[in-house]
């Protein structure tokens, strides 16, 4: 069972593109891996944590209404980034921690994909010592 | 409900449980029945793939990201046949005399721990890597420390046939690391000790009665026991589930009523990962990741160690996001990394408690000395990176994402206390200690100096939860030395129980 519904996944991708810009370039297989990695990680966490993630996604989507009269997806990219930076640097503790959790999920879904390693200059080998001698 | 009867049951199979099992195993020849109940799976060799997300999910609790209650620190600890010894880097240091003296536990001497530690150092093939096996990430750290006049030492490590996969924290894909899953547990099983994997002990009910549940997992070998509930009876119980789950098990089982220190005095060596970027590729993820440490600043409250983490762990430990973050992440082959460990004093309010469902919750508040140590460590690390030739440095408490080489004389203005906000930066821990601390009195400790729970002659603890205060070094060998003591006490006393 997936911990997020389709709308929540779509919104996580919207936020995710601000967090990891290359996320926008993922193909269908990459997007599927993104969901699988996050779903698997959330499944191992207490139900309360999953509920907090869902609630925080809703908060990120709607909170910009108060400041700009628009939801997060309706904001231009620059304002989306500014809002997320506020969450990271200036927001009260619980919101700051919520954003830390959200961006960590996005990092996990993207950088946790071994298939993408070469694109970020990461090509590990079980016989790494051979590369030391090369 | 199935029932099982043993003479000795050990809960957990990591450094403590594994060592205790091996030390007690010769008793099997006398007909003594011994079991190890391990929550985690026993992976088949082909399942050690080195893939970050996959292995983290299989071998760690919550993929290595268990939050403290206020979500300002994540805790990484293993859950597998071999416990955390499957997923650590193999660094095998002997505890120095200083911390043991400061613990001041009557009956516990440094000489005793040293003698026992030496046994495991021999048993686990601990040695220094040859010079040609050191990668640039490690050599650059050593050279920079020497240039700056900082004391730097090489880590002895417990590998056999290391091929330099650099994936120690994901479970070695070459079976080189000599954790308890490779040494002590197979030896214990050869004597007749039964190791039951996928088996979570829920509580201890009455005298030596354990309630456990075996769960099926989609990975690992099947548990020797059927899925479902089990009752296990034992004359002696040794709890070795680690510094989170050992106190939690004892709290769930009601021992907190007579032991006010249970769960308290939790320490963690809170850690940060620092990154320096070099102008050209270096060897960093090839070869063993952790070869050197710098204890030059131990009296100022921190240690520095080389490290090389995987992409996701690296990404989450950088502060920030967006273009700059992605830019740095896309140069993984140019990154030099330093792990900072703060030496945190054991405080009674830093503790393991239970939530309403009986699951552990770690309450941890960063003391001002720890925050000051973390701040100072970032500045020292930045100096090391620049001395090693890095062109820019990322510090989590930096006023900007990158500190450029030409700014290296302004570290005090660029790395600030204002930016060091728990909850904003990633602080993690893999050295979890305390919660069932040794001591003389039940008023402020949980066990005696032999690991026996005060007032409960059939119940012992044999893991890092015994530490009265932080170890000030990587704790694995010391945990084994403690378990060795516990096994000696059990051998001497179990028939009387």
pLDDT tens digit string along B35-44? 999 999 999 9
pLDDT tens digit string along A48-84? 888 999 999 999 999 999 999 999 999 999 999 999 9
Name every chain B residue with its beta carbon within 8 A of the beta carbon of A117: 311
- Residue B183 reports pLDDT greater than 90: yes
Name every chain A residue with its beta carbon within 8 A of the beta carbon of B319: 88
Query: Tokens for B295?
Result: 């204890």
Average pLDDT value for chain B: 97
Interface of A with B (CB under 8 A): 18-22, 37, 40-41, 44-46, 49, 81, 84, 88-89, 93, 96-97, 100-101, 103-104, 107-108, 110-114, 117, 119-122, 124-133
Under an 8 A CB cutoff, do B322 and A112 touch? Answer: no
Under an 8 A CB cutoff, do B166 and A128 touch? Answer: yes
Give the span between the Cα atoms of B61 and B219, in whole angstroms. 15
Residue B396 and residue B318 in contact, taking contact as beta carbons nearer than 8 Å: yes
Name every chain A residue with its beta carbon within 8 A of the beta carbon of B286: 124-125, 128-129, 131-132
User: Among all chains, which residue has been given the structure tokens 């924290």?
Assistant: B169
Question: In sequence order, what are the residues at sequence separation of 6 or more whose Cβ sits closer than 8 angstroms to the Cβ of residue B95?
Answer: B110, B113, B114, B117, B471, B472, B473, B475, B477, B478, B481
- Residue A134 reports pLDDT greater than 70: no
Query: Tokens for B365?
Result: 């508040």
Name every chain B residue with its beta carbon within 8 A of the beta carbon of A56: none
Other C-beta atoms closer than 10 Å to the C-beta of B490 total 28
Under an 8 A CB cutoff, do A112 and B325 touch? Answer: no
Name every chain A residue with its beta carbon within 8 A of the beta carbon of B135: 128, 132
- Residue B384 reports pLDDT greater than 60: yes
Interstrand relation of B228-239 and B2-11 (parallel, antiparallel or unpaired): parallel
Determine which helix (DSSP H) or strand (DSSP E) holds B235, and give its type and residue range: strand B228-239
pLDDT tens digit string along B96-155? 999 999 999 999 999 999 999 999 999 999 999 999 999 999 999 999 999 999 999 999
Distances (CA, A) of B255 to B247, B249, B371, B418: 9, 9, 33, 42
Q: What is the pLDDT of residue B206?
A: 87
Under an 8 A CB cutoff, do A100 and B424 touch? Answer: yes
Helices (H), A1-134: 6-19, 28-43, 47-62, 64-68, 77-89, 93-111, 128-133
Name every chain B residue with its beta carbon within 8 A of the beta carbon of A91: none
pLDDT tens digit string along B238-266? 999 999 999 999 999 999 999 999 999 99
Give the span between the Cα atoms of B145 and B306, in whole angstroms. 11
Share of chain B above pLDDT 90, in %: 97
Residue A1 pLDDT level (bands cut at 50, 70, 90): low
Name every chain A residue with its beta carbon within 8 A of the beta carbon of B75: none
User: Among all chains, which residue has been given the structure tokens 């370039």?
Assistant: A25
Q: Which among A118, A17, A105 is positioned nearest to B65, based on CA atoms? A: A105
Q: What is the pLDDT of residue B497?
A: 84
Residue B424 pLDDT level (bands cut at 50, 70, 90): confident
Under an 8 A CB cutoff, do A129 and B421 touch? Answer: no
Give the span between the Cα atoms of B229 and B251, in whole angstroms. 20
3-class secondary-structure state, position B212: strand
As a residue count, chain B comes to: 497
Q: Which among B478, B489, B481, B366 is positioned nearest to B433, based on CA atoms? A: B478
Distances (CA, A) of B64 to B156, B246, B427: 25, 18, 13
Strand partners, B157: B91, B127
Under an 8 A CB cutoff, do B333 and A130 touch? Answer: no
**C-alpha angle with apex B290: B123 to B186, nearest 5 degrees?**
30
Under an 8 A CB cutoff, do A96 and B331 touch? Answer: no
Question: In sequence order, what are the residues at sequence separation of 6 or more whose Cβ sits closer than 8 angstroms to the Cβ of residue B114?
Answer: B94, B95
Distances (CA, A) of B61 to A45, A46, B17, B360, B456: 9, 11, 17, 12, 29
Q: Which among B213, B250, B244, B201 is positioned nearest to B459, based on CA atoms? A: B250
Other C-beta atoms closer than 10 Å to the C-beta of A47 total 10
Under an 8 A CB cutoff, do B165 and A128 touch? Answer: yes
- Nearest by CB to residue A126, choosing from B135, B165, B332, is B165
Give the span between the Cα atoms of B483 and B460, in whole angstroms. 10
Under an 8 A CB cutoff, do A112 and B62 touch? Answer: no
- Residue B370 reports pLDDT greater than 60: yes
Burial zone of B3 (CB within 10 Å; 0-12 exposed, 13-18 middle, 19+ buried): exposed
pLDDT tens digit string along B189-248? 999 999 999 999 999 998 999 999 999 999 999 999 999 999 999 999 999 999 999 999
Under an 8 A CB cutoff, do A124 and B286 touch? Answer: yes
In Å, how far is B313's CA from the nearest CA of chain A?
8
pLDDT tens digit string along A80-133? 999 999 999 888 888 888 999 899 999 999 999 999 999 999 999 999 999 996
How many Cβ contacts (< 8 angstroms) between chains A and B? Answer: 140
Q: ipTM of the assembly?
A: 0.95
Min mean pLDDT across B74-83, B261-270, B417-426 is at B417-426
Name every chain B residue with its beta carbon within 8 A of the beta carbon of A40: 53, 57
- Nearest by CB to residue B311, choosing from A93, A117, A125, is A117
């Amino acid at each position: 069972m997936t911990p997020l519904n389709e709308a929540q996944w779509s919104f996580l991708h919207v936020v995710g593109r601000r967090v990891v810009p290359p996320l926008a370039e993922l193909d269908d297989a990459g997007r599927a891996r993104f969901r699988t990695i996050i779903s698997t990680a959330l499944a191992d966490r207490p139900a309360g944590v999953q509920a907090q993630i869902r609630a925080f996604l809703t908060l990120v989507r709607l909170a910009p209404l108060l400041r700009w009269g628009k939801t997060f997806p309706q904001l231009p990219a620059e304002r989306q980034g500014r809002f997320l930076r506020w969450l990271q640097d200036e927001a009260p503790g619980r919101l700051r921690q919520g954003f830390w959790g959200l961006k960590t999920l996005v990092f996990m879904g993207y950088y946790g994909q071994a298939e993408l390693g070469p694109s970020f200059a990461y090509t590990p080998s079980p016989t790494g010592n051979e590369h030391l001698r090369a | 409900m199935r029932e099982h009867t043993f003479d000795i049951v050990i809960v957990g199979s990591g450094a403590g449980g594994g060592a205790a099992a091996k030390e007690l195993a010769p008793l099997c020849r006398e007909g003594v029945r011994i079991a190890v109940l391990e929550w985690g799976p026993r992976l088949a060799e082909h399942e050690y793939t080195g893939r970050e997300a996959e292995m983290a999910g299989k071998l760690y609790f919550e993929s290595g990201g268990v939050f403290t209650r206020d979500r300002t620190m994540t805790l990484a600890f293993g859950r597998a046949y071999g416990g955390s010894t499957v997923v650590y880097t193999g660094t095998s240091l002997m505890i120095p005399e200083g911390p043991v003296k400061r613990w001041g536990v009557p009956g516990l001497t440094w000489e005793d721990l040293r003698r026992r530690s030496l046994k495991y150092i021999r048993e686990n093939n601990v040695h220094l890597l040859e010079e040609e096996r050191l990668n640039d990430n490690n050599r650059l750290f050593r050279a920079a420390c020497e240039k700056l006049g900082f004391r730097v030492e090489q880590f002895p490590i417990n590998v056999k046939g290391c091929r330099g996969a650099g994936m120690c924290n994901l479970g070695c894909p070459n079976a080189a690391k000599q954790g308890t899953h490779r040494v002590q547990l197979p030896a214990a099983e050869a004597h007749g000790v039964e190791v039951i994997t996928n088996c979570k002990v829920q509580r201890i009910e009455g005298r030596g009665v354990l309630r456990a549940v075996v769960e099926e997992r989609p990975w690992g070998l099947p548990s020797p026991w059927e899925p479902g509930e089990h009752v296990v009876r034992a004359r002696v119980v040794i709890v070795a589930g680690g510094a989170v789950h050992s106190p939690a098990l004892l709290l769930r089982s009601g021992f907190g009523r007579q032991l006010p220190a249970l769960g308290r005095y939790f320490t963690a060596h809170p850690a940060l990962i620092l990154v320096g970027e070099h102008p050209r590729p270096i060897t960093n993820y090839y070869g063993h990741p952790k070869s050197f440490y710098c204890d030059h600043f131990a009296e100022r409250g921190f240690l520095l160690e080389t490290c090389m983490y995987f992409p996701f762990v690296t990404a989450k430990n950088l502060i920030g996001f967006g273009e700059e973050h992605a830019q740095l992440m896309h140069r993984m082959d140019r990154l030099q990394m330093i792990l900072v460990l703060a030496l945190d004093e054991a405080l009674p309010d830093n503790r393991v408690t239970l939530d309403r469902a009986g699951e552990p919750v770690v309450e941890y508040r960063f003391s001002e000395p720890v925050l000051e140590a973390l701040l100072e460590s970032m500045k020292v690390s930045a100096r090391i990176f620049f001395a090693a030739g890095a062109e820019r440095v990322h510090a989590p408490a930096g006023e900007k994402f990158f500190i450029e080489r030409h700014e290296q004389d302004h570290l005090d203005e660029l790395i600030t206390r204002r930016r060091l906000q728990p909850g904003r930066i990633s602080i993690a821990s893999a050295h979890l200690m305390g919660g069932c601390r040794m001591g003389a009195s039940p008023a402020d400790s949980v066990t005696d100096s032999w690991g026996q729970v005060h007032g409960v002659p059939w119940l012992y603890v044999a893991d890092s939860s015994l530490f009265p205060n932080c170890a000030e070094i990587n704790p694995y060998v010391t945990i084994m030395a403690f378990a060795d003591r516990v096994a000696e006490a059990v051998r001497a006393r179990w028939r009387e129980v």
